[in-house]
Structure 1
Amino acid sequence: MKKYSTLLLSSTLLLSTLTNSSLIAAQETENSTELPLTTTIAESNQEVTSILETTETSEEIIPLDPRPKVAVTESAVTSQANQIITTQQNGNNLSIFYQRSNAQKNLEIKYAIWSHENGQDDLRWISARDYQTDISLVDSKAGRYSIHAYITIEGKSIFLQAISIDITRPAPSMTAKINQIGLLDIAIHNISPDVQEVLVPTWSNVNGQDDIKWYKAQRQTDGTYSLRVYLKDHHFNTGAYSIHVYTKDTQGRQNFVTNTSIQICNQDVPSKPQPDIALENLQAIHGRYQVAVYETASSKPIRSVEVASWSMEKQANLIWRTASLENGKYLVAVDFQEQQNHSGNYHNHVYVTYTDGSRVGYASQIVDLTSARLPLKFSTHLAKIGHIQVTLSNVYDHQDLQFAVWSDENGQDDLRWYSAKKSADRTYLADILLNQHKGVGKYHVHAYQGGKGLGAYSMMVSNSDRYSSNNTYPIGQCTWGAKEVAPWVGNANQWPASAQRAGFRIGNRPQVGAIAVWPAGQYGHVAVVTAIDSSGRIRVQESNYAGNMSIGDYRGWFNPVTSGVTTYIYPH
């Protein structure tokens, strides 16, 4: 058992001159003989002396602050006698008063404050100001609290004083007022921090509680709970409104807290409740826009919305559309392609059906779609073997139009330009000769008008588009290739000597579309001429050349004379 000796303290020394005994005094004070707010330091010293003379314990004293304690120097506590901590609560604010001595003015003082409930789980450290230190009690429960004061001297924390106080919470209160027509703002004050929910049932006194709604208030950073009531949800009733407040605790128990009432006058509600109507996402060149209808604080709750739109005389292209509710607004999409593709000024009448059953029509603004254009439409058609017709529709300008065409094979080495002809209103077409191009697969088609590009398109060309299926020659042989490229060549007995007897012209000068004949070898060789630079420089499409069993331009530009071509068979 430890036995503590009696210590006599002068009135000029603080209780903190005892390194551990001061904490004993503080703990014993809170557990048994709590110091009143008016107790002087001298009286506290005498009480600690008395406690120390009579207390025996075998337990080690554990200080509140685990940092090592040292004695305060005499110069640091000069003029400290009879200075005590006092407090004053004003609503949700607690003021702690402590008059520093001259020696303490430049030293750090901190207050440790915690409730007696659940140990020190709500312990807070507050830096003291020169005299008055204010602490917010918004997040503090009612009950008994301890306050310990510490001063820092040469990096060491020294205990000064300990007091206990009772903290009360102000009674809950509520304010309700109209800040904007059709809106009732409610604020609830002094709700205990251990509350889980704040519920606010509100109703007008017209027809009892037929319009009662339960609202959930939201907690703000200052501890106030607030909510906004739309009077349209209460039929814009005037007269007295009742407002009650209930709280829910952690066990889900609901408790009545307070209530109030407010008088709603005619000037607090809109004289002509109507929604906001706006135009959105206007794309005049594409002939599209949206009509949006919003509920506002000054409009009645909406059940449904319909929009009538037209642009032609006598409403010839009138269309009714029902709005869809998306993200809190009613939307209708208008597209001139659905209204006879008419480019003009569009009228929009909005008809709103409210939840009370009433239906009101509103005229929205006129939308200028005179510049609206249909999107360009590209299409292809196999007119006959070797001829593909390309068509471009919805061309609004009247300048000459051209198509640039080339196959995907070897870049643009077979690029050809074709002049288009106007076949109908806003429609142009051109015939593409496949024998002017190479291979099958993807072909590129670019449209130009007045030197400006209108669009880039593509088409797929197959063997059956280029070549007739009436080909009995072995696939891959040169005769098969020539027949595919030039279907007119006929049967084998027309190669080449019999060709003249069959009515075909023959000669020794190259011509595009003609069959070039190499007589050398056991079987000879044939190809179709596709391009001519001169009689000594041509290009051909052929098969069974250098092991290639498909049709292609394998030679590029070459000299037919030196390569062995002796005869050309010309088409009719």
Structure 2
Amino acid sequence: MGELKLLRKIYTCFSLCFLSIVQSEYVMAADEAVSEYILVDSGEAIQKQQINIYNKGRLETEILPNNSLVSYSYDSNGNVLKKYTTHSTEPYTISSSAASYDIYLKGVPENLEQVIFPSWTELYGQDDIEWINGEKIAPGVWKATIVLSRHGGLTGIYNTHIYADGTLLKMLTVQVQNTAKVTSPKTTSLADGSYEISVEGVARNISEVRFPTWTENKGQDDLENPWILGEKLNDTTWKIRVPFSKHNFETGNYFTDIYFYDKYNNSSGLNGPTVIVQGGTGGSSETDITGVSYDVYIYGLDPQTQKVQFPTWTANKDQDDLEWIEGVKVANGVWKGTVIYSNHNSELGRYITHVYADGKYSGAWEFNVVDTIKYTYSNIAYLSSGFYDITVNGIPSNVATVRFPTWTEKNGHDDIEEPWIEGERLSSTSWRIRIPYYKHNNEIGAYSTHVYSYDAYGNSRIIGMLSVDVRN
């Protein structure tokens, strides 16, 4: 097989060996029947019993009396991962994403010595004819695999004749059609962090789908190798997430091609989407004040930018709390400014940030600061339980740690634990602390706990003051 080049209107794609590219504009309707294989009875000695086909000692396929196939897949330890039934109906239609399809011939005499499956596409006659030697896989059953890349990866009509010991038994016609439907955004922003591409209508025989992705800027310098492996959502749908961090946070055109691989490692390909990625400001539109601080980002700046500032103020009383925050460069064209709530009187409500790059206005961002945390604990506890728990929910995910300094009313702070007790993170927004009585001399009376949240930069704020009455 020769080297194939994928051509795009704007960009000349990379050259790849051993891959065929499906370029049909036609996409099948969802209700059209797609075959997973082709099964032919010779008409001489029709077999009605179940036929088991083994590969390396494992049951790979069952041909049932009704001509449906049951396929098995295994993990590396030989355990069955999946068992599924497929069907084949005339007129035969095969998805171009399948990369290949199998033709089974059954019901032939067991003493046959050779079965040949010459195959070619209707387009340009027999210029691509391939004489495929069949494989005997069970008594009276032969199989041939038609690999689409050996026929230019073309869609349209495929013809196969079947000869048994030189005698023509059958003539088959197969329609290969593009069934894949690709979904992706047309445009997106670097502020989103990533975008997703999904492809529906993939042939069920496909074992993996890969999505090579790169940006127009500087060609394929950012092409990830090995190519990104898609996540299988169901039998016919795969998806990937393209994170901008893997592509230098570049703006402009992002290209993705899609490659399907069958169990024999044959492949077929599809020109995927072009996504226009834009710069701009970004961050969450709402955050909780327990997060201590909040980062505002700007993307897509000139990599040569020397200084970025993020003047920030709250909507309350206008710019009485205006602070010019010096930005930090985090990647080429990407800068962030950290807004610390205490520098703005720890106000709730709307915060406004403008962005200046080398003195030039470059964008703005607004976000709301709220207070929604909730505590779960009992106001009264008993020594017999050995401890009590405090859980706090609604803490922003940017919080790096939460500490719970605790002491009893008796003798003041003599029993406060140093360093202050660090909470256990239960989820991205939930933390818990367990207060054992033995660390407080098993005292009864009022136990006080203050709660402090810390961001990743070491900034902190008190977010709660709680009291529990411990009794005998």
Identify whether the pair has TM-score above 0.5, normalized to the shorter chain: no
Q: Which has the higher contact order (CA 8 A, sep 6+)?
A: 2
TM range (shorter): 0.3 to 0.5
**Over alpha carbons, which structure has the higher Rg?**
1
Question: Structure 2 length normalisation: TM-score?
Answer: 0.34
**Larger relative helix fraction:** 1
Q: Specify which structure has the higher proportion of strand.
A: 2
